Amino acid sequence: MILKERDFPLILKKQQALLRRLSPQHKMYPIIMEDLKKREAGFKGETSIDYHLGFLDKDNYWILHDIRLSDQQNRFFQIDTLIVTKTILIPIEIKNIAGTLYFDPIFKQLIRTKDGIESGFRYPLSQIEKQSSQLSAWLKRSNFPEVPIYPIIVISSPQTVIRTTSENRKIAQKVIHNENLPEKIKELTSFHNLDILTE
């Protein structure tokens, strides 16, 4: 059951409105346009999982999109989608990046190769581990019982190739394509039978 819908981001509305009013010859136009395209791709990636989440049992899974919370130092953190069950929590970080993605566990970086060009990105595993730690602290501070948290990274484009070193098994457990999402969620919940949260 969806408890919190995904809203169209306000920043996208602002950038779209700004570009309609800005001359294409303005020096900032290409910079704003590039940023807008990245944000639109991110939002498209986030919405791409909605179809797959529809296969979950609405009585056992509660879905909250676009969660923004603050930790004890009043630093905000954002979770793309949070799956809540009575036994575990599953924060989902969605990445809409085309090409071949190499998860480098040694230097903790994500390297994308597309059209023969390599680009570096923040390491998503570090990101979800930090978010999970912040979520755990938020739950404790809000007097919730201690709940196991299993974050996963969803790659929204089925054409994206995922690679890593052969010994890096953590990637196979944490990174999936969006069509595998319902199966992964059911797998994670199958390991836990003890209800911790009430409906």
Q: For residue range 103-159, list pLDDT tens digits in order.
A: 998 899 999 999 999 999 999 999 999 999 999 999 999 999 999 999 999 999 889
Residue indicated by tokens 């570090």:
126
pTM: 0.85
Task: Check residue 163 and give its pLDDT.
Answer: 92
Instruction: Name all domains of the chain by residue range, CATH numbers in brackets.
Output: 2-190 (3.40.1350)
| Token pair of 153 as six digits | 């990274």
pLDDT in tens, 144-155: 999 999 999 999
Task: Check residue 32 and give its pLDDT.
Answer: 85
Task: Check residue 15 and give its pLDDT.
Answer: 85
Task: Check residue 165 and give its pLDDT.
Answer: 86
Task: Check residue 60 and give its pLDDT.
Answer: 92
Task: Check residue 41 and give its pLDDT.
Answer: 77
Task: Check residue 136 and give its pLDDT.
Answer: 94
- Spatial CA neighbour of 161 closest among 180, 177, 181: 177
Instruction: Answer whether 87's CB lies under 8 Å from 193's CB.
Output: yes
Ramachandran region of residue 46, left (φ > 0), alpha (ψ -120 to 50) or beta? alpha
Task: Check residue 127 and give its pLDDT.
Answer: 93
- pLDDT below 50 — which residues of the chain? none
DSSP assignment, residue 79? Answer: E
Residue indicated by tokens 């990245």:
38
Task: Check residue 114 and give its pLDDT.
Answer: 93
Q: Which secondary-structure segment (H or E) carries 67?
A: strand 62-70
